[in-house]
Amino acid sequence: MSQPSLDVIAIGNAIVDVMAPCDDALIERLGLVRGGMTLVDTARAHELYDAMGPAREISGGSAANTLAGLAALGARCAFIGQVADDQLGEVFAHDIRAGGIAYQTPARAGDPPTARCLIFVSPDGQRTMNTFLGASQFLPASALDEDLIASASVLYLEGYLWDPEEPRAAMRRAIEASRKAGRKVAFTLSDAFVIARHGDDFRALIEAGEIDILFANHVELAALTGLEDFHDGIALLRDKVPVLVVTRGPEGAVAVAGADTAEVSAEPIERVVDTTGAGDLFAAGFLSGYVRGRSLAECLKLGAICAAEIISHYGARPEADLKTLTAAVA
Q: Where are the domains of the chain?
A: 6-13+61-111+136-329
Q: How confident is the model at residue 195 (pLDDT cuts 50, 70, 90)?
A: very high
* Across 67-91, average pLDDT: 96
* Tens of pLDDT, residues 95-121: 999 999 999 999 999 989 999 999 999
6-13+61-111+136-329: CATH architecture: 3-Layer(aba) Sandwich (3.40)
pTM: 0.90
Q: Among 15-24, 178-187, 222-231, whose mean pLDDT is lowest?
A: 15-24
pLDDT over 90 (residue 240)? yes
* Tens of pLDDT, residues 67-77: 999 999 999 99
For position 218, what pLDDT does the model report?
Answer: 95
**Residue 211 CB partners (closer than 8 Å, separation 6+):** 185, 186, 187, 205, 241
Q: How confident is the model at residue 283 (pLDDT cuts 50, 70, 90)?
A: very high
Q: How confident is the model at residue 316 (pLDDT cuts 50, 70, 90)?
A: confident
* Tens of pLDDT, residues 133-156: 999 999 999 999 999 999 999 999
For position 1, what pLDDT does the model report?
Answer: 64
* Across 208-228, average pLDDT: 97
Query: Is residue 286 a contact partner of residue 70, using CB atoms and an 8 Å limit?
Result: no
Query: Is residue 325 a contact partner of residue 305, using CB atoms and an 8 Å limit?
Result: yes
* Across 9-19, average pLDDT: 94
Query: Is residue 302 a contact partner of residue 285, using CB atoms and an 8 Å limit?
Result: yes
